[in-house]
A and B are shown apart, each in its own frame.
Chain A
Amino acid sequence: MNALPELDLRSALEARGISRRQFVKFCSTMVATLALPPRYLGAVVKALDQRTRPVLVWLEFQDCAGNSESMLRSGHPTVGDFVLELFSWEYHELLMAGAGKRAEETLERVLSEHKGEYIAVIEGAIPTADGGVHCTIGGKTALDIAQRVCSNAAVNIAVGACAWDGGIVSAGPNPTEAVGLEKAVPGIKNLVNLGGCPHNPANTAAVLVHYLTFHEMPALDQYNRPLFAYGNIIHDQCERRAHYDAGRYVEEWGDEGSRKGWCLYKMGCKGPEATYNCPTVRWNEGTSWPVKSGHGCIACASPRFWDTKSPFYDRLPKVPGFGVDVKASEIGWVATGAVGVAMVAQVVGNIVRDNIRPKHEPAAENKPSDAGGGPQA
């Protein structure tokens, strides 16, 4: 298969009708997203200008292609446009024209010719049950492909909740025993997890730009997620936060508070426990994000959020062993009430006991010798 002509980024962008001005704007957006000081803009522009385009393969496993779509539909000129031109995209099931054997040959060629140089982006969970047969591409299991591709890549980027920790695919009961990339390929090197359902393409682009500029990954947290995107709690960046601190809450959908943009805390918003830069980077060219549009956060960028952050419209998880309608607070109040009733029963029981006590049974052992006859004041 013919390789694409080796274009530098500037001519590739010009061929796509993207001006120099737009390119520099994109670079400054990336610097801002990475939370770098503005003086790094020059370094980023220079680095991207001079690079020959690295090879990139994008693998999809158990996924809905939502992360690919999120990348492609991010406005114009898009983050997607730039990312598409920054790299030589050799393999991406959603985008490539080739199919079947020809497409798989391309992947093989990348693996042999660019071993240890290419960038692997993984989307979707990887099933492990029954030898991984629940997701096969070209007769190979996702597990095999991931292990082969990712162990030879310069950089591995897991985009979206599924590739990070299994996402909805591994949510209970997880019939295919799906896992994220980190678990599927133990000991994987240079891994960046970009959780979220879907990932925010601005973050993914920023990670790639950081890698191209500084030849290393941005600072990562305990889940191998970049701190610039996952280091802050959503609640602390939320434009409705002032209503939270004041104590003004939406009580039901469509009420006065809902129309006035009050805090969605009581509607089960998971902003206080979720970390992401959703409120600042936002979506659709920075237009909006879920809480701004009036729906609570579901913590889609948090670990195993389908299992741990549901129910999405309640503050706390359901207590295991009780009905689906039973809230933790109801269990607590009933248990406390039961203790209260038991204590009242004890009082009644004690009165009865004192009244039916036989004469030879003392009320308490070891009474003082003259019990009851204390000194008179």
Chain B
Amino acid sequence: MKRTTRKAGSNASWKVPAPGQIRVYVWEWPVRFSHWVMVITIISLSITGYYMHAPYVAAGGRTAYVMGTMRFVHIVSGFAFMLAILIRMYWFFFANRWSRWNQYIPTTKKRMANLVAVGKYYGFMAWSPVRYIGHNPMAGAAYAVVYAMAIVEIITGLALYSQILGSKTLSFFVGWIPHFIDIQWLREIHFLIMFGFWMFFIHHIYTAILVSVEEENGLMDSIFSGYKFVPKQELLRDPAVEEQQPDVETVQAVSVEEEESHTAV
């Protein structure tokens, strides 16, 4: 693979697109904000949650309050996590075309076909990845699973919390769940899904590095800045647009105004 020669520095050369590339604002602030809140809370929820399952720190001293602190951090992080998920789910319906809900759930045949193509690349049955400005269909589907896991975590977490809280309001929403799934199974599901997040975490870091290196589009930077560097013809034939309009053979995807807005630095 080739190395990019773009450099970061005092005159911020990374802000300047290479010839033939344009700088595209892909991830809007709600996407990046909710992403980083999720990262921080998943880490803190895992550390405290695993302690609550099997206390791995021996408490010392007469005024120790280890479990109490862990539980406090867990509950606060849990609500922050829920907030981030809610913000992101709201944004599914109002985001630009790379963060909309249809980037996560494949709804068209074309996107399904591309999902298979991405799978072939990961299965070493293709030489090159399928290039996307936003999420490729497989990544999007993986994130849909992560959101599903997050929703289950939030619901089971609230059900467990309502038992210790004794709040009538919260019990109204989730108090009926232990009627059908015992509280211990809710706890088991809540615990096992944590490992699902860990598995995703490993995979996510790996693919982010891989795609960033393979596509040379500033993917890693984009989750901080929101911007990616993409070849102009890629923006003009954006799969995120083409996949949603399967009947049209070639789409002039981007208006002149939008193109100019992306190029502006």
Contact = CB atoms under 8 A, between A and B. Distances in A.
Contacts of B68: 245-246
B179 A374 contact: no
A282 interface: no
B67 interface: yes
B248 interface: no
A347 B13 CA distance: 30
A266 B58 CA distance: 12
Nearest to A369: B20
A266 B57 CA distance: 12
Interface in A28-73: none
Contacts of B183: 273, 302, 308
Contact of A308 (B66, B122, B185, B202): B185
A361 B195 contact: no
A361 B128 contact: yes
Nearest to A244: B67
Given A246-B59, A248-B59, A375 B124 contact: no
B117 to A, nearest CB: 11
Given A249-B55, A365-B128, A336 B163 contact: no
B109 interface: no
Contact of B53 (A235, A315, A371, A374): A315
B90 interface: no
Interface string B62-81: 00111110000000000000
A354 B124 CA distance: 11
Given A343-B203, A369-B231, A374 B6 contact: yes
Interface in B1-45: 1-7, 9, 11, 13, 16, 18-21
Given A244-B67, A343-B206, A364-B128, A317 B188 contact: yes
Interface band, chain B? 35 or more
Contact of B215 (A248, A333, A349, A364): A364
Contacts of B164: 233, 235-236, 272
Nearest to B197: A336
B194 A328 contact: no
Contacts of B65: 245-247
Contact of B214 (A245, A246, A328, A364): A364
Contact of A303 (B53, B58, B182): B182
B182 A308 contact: yes
Given A331-B192, A332-B191, A317 B185 contact: yes
A22 interface: no
B4 A374 contact: yes
Interface in A264-305: 265-266, 270, 272-273, 302-304
A329 B53 contact: yes
B120 interface: no
A245 B70 CA distance: 9
Nearest to B233: A366
Interface string B96-128: 000000000000000000000000001010011
Contacts of A244: 67
A309 B55 contact: no
A247 B67 contact: yes
Contacts, number: 157
A17 interface: no
B20 A368 contact: yes
Contacts of B242: none
Nearest to A372: B2
A368 B176 CA distance: 57
Contact of A370 (B20, B54, B210, B214): B20
Contacts of B18: 368, 370, 373-375
Contacts of A331: 192, 195
Contact of A247 (B59, B179, B182, B234): B59
A363 B184 contact: no
A369 B232 CA distance: 10
A346 B2 contact: no
A336 B20 CA distance: 41
A342 to B, nearest CB: 8
B199 A339 contact: yes
A238 B117 CA distance: 58
Contact of B124 (A233, A333, A335, A349): A349
B135 interface: no
Contacts of A346: 122, 206, 210
Contacts of A235: 164
B262 interface: no
B129 interface: yes
Interface string B214-225: 111000000000
Given A266-B55, A316-B187, A335 B20 contact: no
Contact of B202 (A248, A332, A339, A362): A339
A101 interface: no
B55 A247 contact: yes
Nearest to B3: A372
A156 B6 CA distance: 81
Contacts of B214: 363-364
B198 interface: yes
Given A247-B59, A316-B187, 14 more contacts: A222-B175, A247-B57, A315-B54, A331-B195, A332-B191, A333-B195, A346-B210, A353-B124, A365-B131, A366-B234, A370-B20, A372-B4, A375-B6, A375-B18
17 contacts: A245-B67, A270-B184, A273-B183, A316-B187, A317-B185, A332-B192, A332-B195, A340-B202, A362-B128, A363-B1, A366-B231, A366-B234, A368-B19, A369-B19, A370-B18, A373-B5, A375-B19
Smallest CB-CB A-B distances: 9 pairs:
A247-B59, A247-B66, A332-B195, A308-B182, A245-B68, A368-B20, A377-B13, A361-B127, A339-B199
